C-alpha cells in the first residue's frame, strides 16, 4: 500500500493527529469539523476512522496527551469530560 517507509510513517502521524482531534472533540461541545456531528461521527468520518484504528492503549495514550496539554495551557476548567472513568 505504501511505497516507502517514509510514507508509512507520515500516514501513522496523520492517524495519530486525527485521533487526538477525536479526543479534543470528545471534550468540547463543538461539532466535528468534518462530518458536522456533535459528540458522534458519521460512519465515513475520517476522525472516527482514525480513532477506530488505534488500540485501546493508544486511545488512552491520546486521551492522556490531550488532557495533559489542556492542563498545561490552563484549560482544565473549560472542558467537561463526558468519558466515564
User: Tens digits of per-residue pLDDT, 6-42?
Assistant: 888 888 888 888 888 888 777 777 788 888 887 677 8
- DSSP state for residue 13 in the 8-state scheme: H
Whole-structure pTM value: 0.61
38 beta partners:
31
> Does position 2 have pLDDT exceeding 80, yes or no?
no
**Mean pLDDT calculated for residue range 53-67:** 87
Q: 19, exposed or middle or buried, with CB in 10 Å at 0-12, 13-18, 19+? A: buried
- Contact (Cβ atoms closer than 8 angstroms) between residue 50 and residue 13: no
Amino acid at each position: 500500500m505504501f511505497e516507502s517507509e517514509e510514507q508509512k510513517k507520515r500516514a501513522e502521524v496523520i492517524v495519530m493527529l486525527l485521533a487526538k482531534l477525536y479526543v479534543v472533540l470528545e471534550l468540547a461541545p463543538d461539532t466535528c469539523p468534518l462530518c458536522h456531528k456533535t459528540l458522534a461521527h458519521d460512519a465515513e468520518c475520517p476522525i472516527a476512522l482514525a480513532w477506530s484504528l488505534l488500540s485501546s492503549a493508544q486511545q488512552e495514550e491520546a486521551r492522556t496527551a490531550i488532557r495533559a496539554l489542556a492542563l498545561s495551557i490552563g484549560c482544565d476548567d473549560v472542558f467537561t469530560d463526558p468519558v466515564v472513568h
